[in-house]
Structure 1
Amino acid sequence: MPAAVIARCSFCAKPNTEVETMVGGPGVFICDGCVRLCVSVIEGKPSDAPMIAPWEHDLPLEQVLQNLAPVSAATTQVQENLAAWVGKARSLGATWSQVGEALGMSRQSAWERFA
């Protein structure tokens, strides 16, 4: 029986079943291949290089449009992870007030979004 897909890399979208190692953070994941790529980028980057958001780069429309689906998929994964964490908090006895406070929203908003 094949292994279950638990998460996808937030950078390349590969599932955990297709990578050697997956590292998880709060609602995000990164695979070993993307970690290696990040290390090579960081090691080759001049220390005084300005930091700019990816969407601020001078990119052709075609490349910007190609990025929309992966960004949307990452957003969906983060929302699913958030719902799972809220479910875990609730199963451990957290009230909707506590969940709302942790998320910076009202009890009612937390309940409406996650109940």
Structure 2
Amino acid sequence: MTTAVLAHCSFCARPNTEVKTLVSGPGVFICDGCVSLCAAVIEGKPASIPRVAPWDQELTLDDVLSRLAPVASAGAQVQQNLTAWVRKARTLGGTWTRIGAALGMTRQSAWERFSGEE
């Protein structure tokens, strides 16, 4: 029996079928391999590394362009997850007013953004 692909790691894009563990967060996922890499980076990080947003680092145009597709892919995954959560809320009887309030938007905005997805 083949395991279904339910989600992908938001960092390396590997599906749940190719990793040991996939931990879910609010609309994002991280695999055991990426957690291990993060732990190694944190343990070996010198205290003098400045904290700068990735897009504010000194990068070449090619470096920046190579990061656009993975960032867009992660954004698309988050959007798909958000849509799935909104569908779940609707299935459980959530009104557009309550869904909009939970998302910090009006009922009308929530309906316009998500009603075509049902």
- Structure 2 length as normaliser, TM-score? 0.92
| Letter of the structure 2 residue corresponding to residue 39 of structure 1 | A
What are the ranges of 5 or more consecutive residues in structure 1 without an aligned counterpart? none
Counterpart CA distance in 2 for 1:15 and 1:56 is 30
Counterpart CA distance in 2 for 1:111 and 1:71 is 26
C-alpha displacement of 1:50: 2.6
Aligned residue number for residue 6 of structure 2:
6
1:41 has 2:41 as partner:
yes
Q: Which runs of at least 4 in structure 1 moved beyond 2 Å after TM superposition?
A: 46-50
Counterpart CA distance in 2 for 1:51 and 1:89 is 38
Aligned residue number for residue 16 of structure 2:
16
Aligned residue number for residue 104 of structure 1:
104
- Structure 1 length as normaliser, TM-score? 0.94
C-alpha displacement of 1:48: 5.1
Counterpart CA distance in 2 for 1:86 and 1:71 is 23
Counterpart CA distance in 1 for 2:50 and 2:10 is 23
Counterpart CA distance in 1 for 2:46 and 2:89 is 43
Counterpart CA distance in 2 for 1:104 and 1:48 is 38
What are the ranges of 5 or more consecutive residues in structure 2 without an aligned counterpart? none
